[in-house]
Every structure is written in structure tokens, then in C-alpha cells.
Structure 1
Amino acid sequence: MTRTVVVTGAGSGIGRAIASTLAHRDWRVVVTDVNGEAARSVAAELPNPSAGHESAPLDVTSPDAAAAVASDIAERFGLDAWVSNAGISFMHRFLDAPIERFDQTMDVNLKGVFVCGQAAAREMVRSGVPGVIVNTASMAGKQGRVPFLADYVASKFGVVGLTQAMAYELGEHGITVNCVCPGFVETPMQSRELEWEAELRGTTPDGVRAMMIADTPLGRLEQADDVARAVAFLLSDDARFITGEALAVNGGAYMD
């Protein structure tokens, strides 16, 4: 029987890799993104099209929008899993960071996980599905030693804590909730950050990239597929007794 998963922020980067990896593993994937056209494009190119992959535009900060997607998918297919991956970042020195950026970061990165997790869990509880929820946190959700990303750090620490709180309350319904904590992932978001950080440090993007690799014991930048495989594990039966965990997927760049 085909299982169905909704992935947010899946129009590019890590979310796109998650969608592709899960499709390869026989999931029906509902690709969502605030950019509906990007979501449609990803859904159209997923492997195993006979599974019936779909797409939907989704602003993760909107409770009504998240509830509509969760309800629709649960009604038509059954909602087995939800991956809250959507995220944004901006880089500023802490003393210069504008409060509007803080609000944007927290809205998408933390409120979005809360909103979507609540919508998904309500449908799982209503339908009696012992579902799985996975949130994308970050290495920056486990340590504050991350330059120029104070608001991002705060949001991702919040995701780790929220994941634990959700896991604790939803366990009685048979729902597991975990998060993944990627490190230096080679994505379009990271490309922007390389430019920003290089300017703030007075160096070059290649110089920043070399620093990231030097900080990673496995000696390379992380790929989006590395994160996707960890998500696939947490959604699998092999992880059925794991909940409330923040799984480090960073090549050893941070160990706890």
C-alpha cells in the first residue's frame, strides 16, 4: 500500500532532494512550496509517477492554508507523514540585524513548523493514523557558535525544542516527531550565504567555502541527498521507536 507524505519547502534545495528520495522509496509525495510553480515542476519530474505525486502552493505561516492541505490529503489518500522543511535565512551582524528580518525568520522557520505540525497531527489523530512528522532544524539549532545568523540560530533552537514538545504530547497517539540537523549543505540558500558571509568577513565565497570544508571532518560540503536519506530513515519502520530526537547530519562539523 502506497504511503503519502507532504513535504514543505520542496520547490528547491533540501526539500526537493527529500521529495525525490522518498519518491524513489515508493512514497506518494505531495510537493508543497510558497512558489506553486516550483512545486509543480518538482512534482512533475519525480520518479515513480504511478504513485500519483501531487503539488500544492503552501504558505507555511498560514494555519488555514496548512489545514486545507492536510485535510485534503488525509481525506483523499490518508496522511501518513509530514516533513516540515521550509526555511529562510538572512545574514547580518547581530548589532545590525533589523527586527523585520527576525520576524520573517521566526515566522517561517519556527511558526511554520508549529502551524504545519499542528495541522498534520490533527488529521492524523482524527483519522487514527500513527503518523510520522519530521522537522528540518539545523546544526545551528544545537550551538550558537554560528556567525551572522543570530535570528536563524534562535529559530532552529526553537525547532529542536518544539520537536521534543510535540513528540511528548503526540506519543499517546502513536505519532513520532523528530528533526534533522544538517550542517554546511550545498544548496541555493547556501550559495547566497556564501556571498553574504564573504562580504561580512572581508574574504571571498571560495574562502568561506574552504573554511566550511575544513570544519567538517568528512572533508566535503554536505549534499542535499545526505539530508534526504536521513529523513527517509526517520520516516521508515526502522525508526518506529525513535521520537523527540534531533539527528545530526553534518559530517562531524558539530558533535554533541
Structure 2
Amino acid sequence: MSTVVITGSGSGIGRAIAVMLADRDWTVVATDVNEVAAAETRELLSTAAGQTHVSRQLDVTNGDAAQAVADEIADSLGLDAWVSNAGISFMERFVDIPREKLDLTLDVNLKGVFLCGQAAARAMIRNGTSGRIVNTASMAGKQGRVPFLADYVASKFGVVGLTQAMAFELASHNITVNAVCPGFVATAMQERELAWEAALSGSTPEAVRGSWVAATPLGRLQTPEDVARGVSFLLSDDAAFITGESLSVNGGAYMD
């Protein structure tokens, strides 16, 4: 039975990934900076395949903490895969983004992926595991034509590049590294972004939501489960010869 650690799995996309992978017979380690939320996710997970899921508190900006989780799981359950999903966003005009907000976005969205990737890779290499690492980027990691999210765009472009660099270096250890690039995902984070963009653009949340749907050729906002299916594929044997890729999962909202 394979074991996967998922960061930022206390809600939204991370929780959907955890639920789907458990349904597909993975043993899940649900981690989140919010320990209660991680435990709530753990309680939602299927044990039909006989799994014993666990949850851990993890601040992804703390490299020592990430290493401790990776080593613990590698030693107790075996670490077969790691999904670096934790991320944050806020919206502001480029010229008005305060430095402390920039630092926080880069720390969580980029540095967190870097530190967790290091931790997972070290543990997998130590155990001789042919592992999988998947990073959550964004379609904002492939195009800068996104309003009021310059710091987020920078962080996610960084994740796309980091994914390639990790894939290149870790290939000799039989560890694949890929990313998923979601689009307009219906989550609590999106609800906040709708309100922020409406306020900054002089519009309404309903009008902004309509513009997002109109920008998506498949004609709807995507669900967290849409993203989870992409992650599940990248962790599967079907993706065994795919590495360094950033898979667009966005209903056609951005095509490359």
C-alpha cells in the first residue's frame, strides 16, 4: 500500500486530493498549518483498503519541520509520494503590494514548495524509494496576464521552474517531479478573490465570477476534484515516464 503526504490538506484543493487518493487506496498523511483542519480531513478519508490515515501540523515555511514529517513517515509507513499543495493569495495592485505581503506569498508558495521538496527527496533517496512529487502551481504560473496578483504570479512561475529543476536533478534517483496548474477553482480562497477583484476593479463578485466562467471554454468554474484527478494521474503508474511537466487543469482557460 502506497503512502502520500499532502500539504495544505485542511481545506479546498488539498482536502479534495486527500479524499480522492484515499478512495483510490492510498494511505494519506494529511498536513496543514492548522492542526485541527488536518485532523478533520483525516476523519473524512476512506479506509476501505485497510488504510490507517494520519494527520500532522506542518508549517511549510519551516524546513526542519518538513524534514521531521518526511523522515517520520518514511520510517513508519514508507514515503512513496509527496504533494506540495499549501498556498496562499491576496489581491492588490502591483504598486501597492507591501513588502511583508510579498515576503509571505513567496515564503509559503515558493519557499515552502522548495523546502518540502527537499525534505521529501532526501527521505526518498535515503530509503531508495522510486517516488513521486507533485507541486501545485497555477495557470498564473504560465501567464502574467492576471490582475492584482503580481506576487502570486511570481511565486507560481517560480514553482513551474522549480519543478523542472527538481525533476532534472532527481531523475537519477527514479523520483519524478511534476506540477498541476489549476485555473478558476471554486474554493473558499476563490470566494475571497472574487470579493477582492470586485473591489479593486469597481465591479461585483457576481460579475467577476461571470467573467471567469466566460474565460473558461468548458463553461464552468472548476472544482477541487478536477484538480485532484490531475494529481492522481501524475501519481499513477500511467505517468511513470512523465517528469518536469506542469499539467494545465483549467478547462481551457489558459492553453499552452
Instruction: Tell me, yes or no, whether TM beats 0.5.
Output: yes
How many angstroms does 1:81 deviate by? Answer: 0.1
**Hey, what does 1:59 align to over in structure 2?**
59
Query: What SS does the corresponding residue of 2:88 show, helix, strand or coil?
Result: coil
The residue correspondences of 1:64-213 to structure 2 (distance < 5 A) are 64-213=64-213
**Counterpart residue identity of residue 16, structure 1:** R
Measure the CA separation in 2 of the matches of 1:44 and 1:96: 41
Quote the Cα distance in structure 2 between the aligned partners of 1:238 and 1:71: 27
d(CA) in 1 for partners of 2:95 and 2:77?
Answer: 49
Structure 1 equivalent of residue 238 of structure 2: 238
User: 2:253 corresponds to which letter in structure 1?
Assistant: A
Aligned mates of 1:21, 1:154 — CA distance in 2:
29
Output the CA distance in 2 between the equivalents of 1:28 and 1:217.
Answer: 35
SS at 1:181's partner residue?
strand
Code of the residue aligned with 1:176 in structure 2: it is T
Structure 1 gaps, min length 5: none
Equivalence map 1:7-26=2 (5 Å): 7-26=6-25
Residue type at the aligned position of 1:245? E
- Which amino acid in the other structure matches residue 108 of structure 1? V
Query: How far apart, in 1, do the equivalents of 2:239 and 2:36 lie?
Result: 33
Q: Note the alpha carbon deviations across 1:207-249, whole angstroms, 9 max, x for none.
A: 0000000000000001000000000000000000000000000
SS at match of 1:148: coil
Equivalences, count: 255
| Alpha-carbon distance in 1 for matches of 2:45, 2:208 | 33
TM-score, structure 2 length as denominator? 0.99
Task: Please name the residue that 1:35 is paired with.
Answer: 34
2:46 matched residue in structure 1: 47
RMSD: 0.6
Runs of 4+ aligned structure 1 residues displaced above 3 Å come to: none
- TM-score, normalised by the number of residues in structure 1: 0.99
The sequence identity of aligned pairs, in percent, is 70
- Report the Cα distance in structure 1 between the residues aligned to 2:158 and 2:226, rounded to whole angstroms: 23
